[in-house]
């Protein structure tokens, strides 16, 4: 997606008006070397010396819970969190183990824990 609609939403086929630039979020830059050294074929071109080529990686929607949260959640118990959050076992277990889970999944677990602690 190259542009955003005037109101900041993604463009559709019926979008009208002055378009905005879409923002690109970069997690990290990875330098990539050239596959071959073209200076031997094309002579000593100064532009061929610059090997700082970067790959822009897409941001992921995965997050890791804080260790203090994970300790509190394991005290509550995996089965109770599964039952009350209505999530499957894999994302709840992964969140407690410190593995990456989706942002929305982490929000559901946090909301469930708040409800349990409020009882």
Model pLDDT, residue 5: 81
Its pTM stands at 0.51
Which pLDDT belongs to residue 52? 55
3-state secondary structure the chain: CCEECCCCCECCCCCCCCCEECCCCCCCEEEECCCCCCHHHHCCCHHHCCCCEEEECCCCCEECCCHHHHHHHHHHCHHHHHHHHCCCHHHHHHHHHCCCEEHHHHHHHHHHHHHHHHC
pLDDT, position 90? 94
Distance CA 103, CA 60 (A): 10
Question: Does the structure show a pLDDT above 80 at 92?
Answer: yes
The answer to whether 109 and 95 are in contact (CB under 8 A) is yes
């Amino acid at each position: 997606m190259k542009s955003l609609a005037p109101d900041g939403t993604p463009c559709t086929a019926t979008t009208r008006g002055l378009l905005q630039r879409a923002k690109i979020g970069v997690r990290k830059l990875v330098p990539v070397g050239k596959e071959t050294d073209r200076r031997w074929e094309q002579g000593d071109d100064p532009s061929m010396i610059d090997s700082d080529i970067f790959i822009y990686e897409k941001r992921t929607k995965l997050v890791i819970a804080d260790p203090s949260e994970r300790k509190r959640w394991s005290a509550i118990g995996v089965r109770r969190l599964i039952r009350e959050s209505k999530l499957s076992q894999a994302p709840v277990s992964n969140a407690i183990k410190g593995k990456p889970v989706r942002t929305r999944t982490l929000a559901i677990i946090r909301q469930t824990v708040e409800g349990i602690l409020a009882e």
